[in-house]
């Protein structure tokens, strides 16, 4: 079974999809229950950047479906996505977007919460999305800080190390899952790398302070 046929098989069972068909070997068209029709480009890539989608006509696509789980998306591609009115995500993201009925401007509930909360903090002047998981936070009268947002339920030392390997430079890990259980080994791995792990409440408090 080809990649696009596999995707059609998975998506056709979604309750919000009225019909689905193949446009070409990498693009499918689906009709939502709200009667809107969307074009979805399908591919598989561990690290997404502008070059990754150079063969995709973004003017004709509403959603780019990447079947690689937890893929990296560069900041420049995130900026293009926002300006050109299309979305990028995995299969779970597509399901959520179908549930909301908005494929072209989809942002996960997790990131909606983070963006809204950071934007409303009285010490935050501006936020920049460096990629799909990192935010650079410009603060009033305090140095800029960069956070990596991880949604793990069980945050392990391997989670921390993988985050560093995939996303590079940042000051702190934000555990966006409110039920996150962070192990002592995860705390040690973060400390050994010169970083801290913070819950949402801890981050909100520490944004008022200078970080070491």
Q: Nearest 5°: CA angle at 11, between 102 and 52?
A: 70
In a domain, 68, yes or no: yes
Query: Is 122 found in the same domain as 87?
Result: no
The domain of 132 spans: 109-206
Confidence at residue 1, expressed as pLDDT on a 0 to 100 scale = 72
Q: Nearest 5°: CA angle at 64, between 146 and 71?
A: 40
Answer with the one of 100, 120, 150 that is the final residue of a domain. Answer: 100
Residue 179 contacts by C-beta under 8 Å, 6 or more apart in sequence? Answer: 153
Per the structure, the count of domains in the chain is 2
Query: Is 114 found in the same domain as 58?
Result: no
195, burial (CB in 10 Å: exposed 0-12, middle 13-18, buried 19+): buried
Each residue's pLDDT, cut to its tens digit, for the chain (212 residues) gives 789 999 999 999 899 999 999 999 899 999 999 888 999 999 999 999 999 999 999 999 999 999 998 899 999 999 999 999 999 999 999 999 999 888 998 999 999 999 999 999 999 999 999 999 999 999 999 999 999 999 999 999 999 999 999 999 999 999 999 999 999 999 999 999 999 999 999 999 999 999 87
Cα gap 155→161, rounded to integer Å: 11
In a domain, 211, yes or no: no
Distances (CA, A) of 170 to 44, 132, 152, 173: 27, 13, 17, 8
Q: pTM, whole model, 2 decimals?
A: 0.92
Pairing status of strand 124-129 against strand 134-139: antiparallel
The arrangement of strands across the sheet holding 196-198 comes to 124-129, 134-139, 142-150, 172-175, 196-198
Return contacts of 112-121, CB within 8 angstroms, 24+ apart: 113/176, 114/149, 114/174, 114/176, 117/200, 117/204, 121/204, 121/207
In a domain, 145, yes or no: yes
Confidence at residue 102, expressed as pLDDT on a 0 to 100 scale = 86
Query: Is 115 found in the same domain as 52?
Result: no
Confidence at residue 35, expressed as pLDDT on a 0 to 100 scale = 86
Answer with the one of 77, 100, 123 that is the final residue of a domain. Answer: 100
In a domain, 212, yes or no: no
In a domain, 130, yes or no: yes
Query: Is 124 found in the same domain as 84?
Result: no
Q: Token pair of 65, please?
A: 């479906």
Confidence at residue 31, expressed as pLDDT on a 0 to 100 scale = 93
């Amino acid at each position: 079974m080809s990649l696009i046929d596999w995707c059609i098989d998975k998506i056709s069972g979604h309750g919000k999809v009225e019909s689905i068909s193949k446009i070409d070997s990498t693009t499918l068209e689906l009709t939502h229950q709200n009667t809107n029709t969307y074009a979805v480009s399908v591919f598989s890539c561990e690290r997404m950047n502008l070059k990754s989608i150079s063969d995709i006509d973004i003017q004709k696509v509403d959603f780019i479906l990447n079947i690689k789980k937890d893929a990296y998306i560069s900041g420049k591609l995130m900026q293009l996505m926002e300006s050109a009115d299309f979305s990028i995500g995995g299969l779970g993201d597509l399901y959520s977007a179908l549930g909301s009925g908005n494929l072209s401007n989809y942002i996960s509930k997790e990131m909606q919460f983070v963006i809204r909360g950071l934007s409303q903090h009285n010490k935050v002047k501006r936020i920049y999305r460096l990629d799909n998981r990192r935010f650079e936070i410009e603060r009033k009268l305090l140095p800029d800080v960069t956070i990596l947002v991880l949604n793990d339920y069980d945050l392990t030392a391997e989670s921390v190390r993988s985050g560093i390997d995939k996303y590079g430079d940042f000051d702190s890990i934000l555990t966006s899952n409110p039920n996150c259980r962070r192990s002592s080994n995860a705390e040690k791995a973060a400390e050994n790398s010169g970083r801290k792990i913070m819950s949402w409440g801890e981050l909100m408090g520490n944004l008022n302070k200078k970080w070491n």
